[in-house]
Structure 1
Amino acid sequence: MNDYQEHRYKMVRLGAMIGIFGNIILAIIKFIIGIMADSRALVADAAHSASDVVGSVAVLVGIRAAKLPPDADHPYGHGKAETLTAIIVAVLLFVVGFEIGLNAVRDIAEPVVVPGTMALYAVLFSIVVKEAMFRYKYKLGIKYKSEAIITDAWHHRSDVFSSIAALIGIGASIAGGAYNIDFLTYGDLLAGLFVSLLIMRMAWKLGKDSIHNVLDHVLHAEDTVEMRKNAEQVEGVLHVDEFFAREHGHYVIIDIKIGVDPYISVEEGHAIGKQVKESLITMEEVQDVFVHVNPFEEKTPE
């Protein structure tokens, strides 16, 4: 593992740890106040924060697995462990959303309980903290190209959305109880149902994107311009016949075919291929390069 990879691992691990401890604290606070204030929406929100703990632990495990070096069974490394972790977190997020919705439907048949105003303060505190966690982890995930951290960040953002919905629902229930407006007293329950739909939709999108990336997704041509230039500038490379940069978790593996003078020796062709690999592997995001050397054939116009 080079210096960049080691630094990256330390930063994304820190992000996962912050997520774990932050979610534990928020889940405890929201659950206790939700029980004290008789707020179903806040208790549901606490369950969502608790699920984030599981997600952040899964991210931590995935990050540790992804940093393992290549071996006989995994010659391309273990980078996809982070992408697989992102899929697991998305599934967990969907399950939590479904459970919140199911509980909301069940609670609609129960006697309406107007929550206490203390629930409002807990929700406001949760919104501020979770939004800060989302922004921190999203920037971290983008900077270090960690799908697991990005998905976990959106897990935090889903908590912000659910807390806003809970805030509206709790406020409506309190207002309905204070002014005897019956339909408003159901705001707390309806907010829980809305939150569940929002979370499941987000989970579906995140899971779909992660599955797309785990299926040997290649970078688009516009994303590989600098890489191709590096290869083309190597002395002896007459043409780049094929260039595929495959995303393998947070790093890239390149398959490239180059055209060289057909009259040079095999050893000289091998040396040119080696220089191409060295020029590409110096780039931070590139983990490995596989070079195939072809005899260059200049095409004549028909």
Structure 2
Amino acid sequence: MGKMNRKTRVALISVASNSLLVIMKILAGILSGSISIVSEAMHSGMDLVASLIAFIAVRTSSKPADKEHPYGHGKLENISGLAEGVLIFVAAGMIIYEAGKKIMHPVELEQAFVAIAVMVLSGIVNFFVSRKLHKVATEEESQALEADSLHLKTDVYTSLGVGVGVLLVKLTGIAILDPIVAILVAILIIKEAWHLSKGAFEFLIDVKLSDEEEAEVIKVIERHKDSFIDYHKLKTRKAGSMKHIDFHITVPEQLPVGEAHKIIGNIKKDMNENLLNTRVSIHIDPYVTQQGKEER
């Protein structure tokens, strides 16, 4: 299958797993009365919304450029990442609010071992789904899927942390440990949300490619340095998984148009073979000799 189908398929896996885990955690929270488990259900609920956003983003962002969107739809993935980050902030705020109420009015836990089993199962499921998402996100350079994988990776730690918290409450009888663990979960979630939002926002304001990616771009250009006099005005940016690379090359003033076109074609071909998802724009500048300047 093509890239689009692969990205969509793995996004659907995330939607399905999050749907199942939300139901399981809600039931476990109701049975146990644990605010930390209810907070985890809320977290997974936000993860479910985020995975739906990621699913829509990867479907739409892969559409080819059209008259209304001549540079393609790639930035929808960046918008998706930013939206997911905001959702996580909201989830964290709700968790802290509910945990604060439970600190003031602690509740004894029931059906604790059922709740612990659900948390452990949740951690295991999200561990494998997160790894699959991360693998595809890396190979396809999808920010939407990368954001979704980070959600689930955090959910692994928070689920296991909540399970440990519930176990500690049953072993020690200290009910206040449950909301305290919930607040620690919220702090982890806030940290995750900050990194997601920051990364997505940077691409929305056209931050340059990473130093490693730009070094690879320069390496490709340098391989063709015998075909032109120099290159300059290199600019890069990223929209979703698509890397946009723009620069100028200087060629002899009398170089035939066909030869100049061939040089550009060779550079673009090399760039596309060495960097995934690239759109290259090269401007030709004529090199005018001192004699040519005098003649003018």
**Counterpart AA for 1:72:** K
**Counterpart AA for 1:43:** V
Counterpart Cα distance in 1 of 2:287 and 2:75: 35
**Which residue in the other structure is 2:260 paired with?**
269
Counterpart Cα distance in 2 of 1:168 and 1:284: 44
1:82-121 equivalence runs, <5 A = 82-115=77-110, 116-121=112-117
Counterpart Cα distance in 2 of 1:221 and 1:161: 31
**Which residue in the other structure is 2:229 paired with?**
238
Structure 1 residue 207 and structure 2 residue 197: aligned? yes
Specify whether residues 185 and 14 from structure 1 end up closer, same or farther in structure 2 by C-alpha distance, changes over 3 A only: same
- Structure 2: runs of 5 or more not aligned: 291-296
Counterpart Cα distance in 1 of 2:283 and 2:289: 18
**Which residue in the other structure is 2:186 paired with?**
196
**Which residue in the other structure is 2:60 paired with?**
65
Q: Secondary structure at the residue paired with 1:216? A: coil
**Which residue in the other structure is 1:248 paired with?**
239
CA shift, 1:21, in A, is 0.5
Q: 1:218 aligns with which of 193, 208, 213?
A: 208
Structure 1 residue 46 and structure 2 residue 77: aligned? no
Q: 2:72 aligns with which of 77, 87, 90?
A: 77
Aligned residues: 288
Structure 1 residue 158 and structure 2 residue 149: aligned? no
Q: 1:168 aligns with which of 164, 168, 171?
A: 164
Q: RMSD of the TM alignment (CA)?
A: 2.2
- Give the TM-score normalised by the residue count of structure 2: 0.89
Q: 1:126 aligns with which of 113, 116, 122?
A: 122
Counterpart Cα distance in 2 of 1:298 and 1:39: 79
Percent identity, aligned pairs only, is 27
- Give the TM-score normalised by the residue count of structure 1: 0.87
What whole-Å deviation, never above 9, does each CA across 1:168-215 have from its counterpart, x for those lacking one? 2211211133xxxxxx22111111111112111210121011111221
Counterpart Cα distance in 1 of 2:20 and 2:88: 19
Whether the 8 Å contact between 1:172 and 1:185 is mirrored in structure 2 is: no
Which moves more between the two structures, 110-119 or 132-141? Answer: 110-119
Counterpart Cα distance in 2 of 1:298 and 1:88: 54
Counterpart Cα distance in 1 of 2:63 and 2:84: 21
Structure 1 residue 145 and structure 2 residue 135: aligned? no
CA shift, 1:298, in A, is 8.6
Counterpart Cα distance in 2 of 1:142 and 1:60: 16
Whether the 8 Å contact between 1:258 and 1:294 is mirrored in structure 2 is: yes
- Structure 1: runs of 5 or more not aligned: 1-5, 178-183
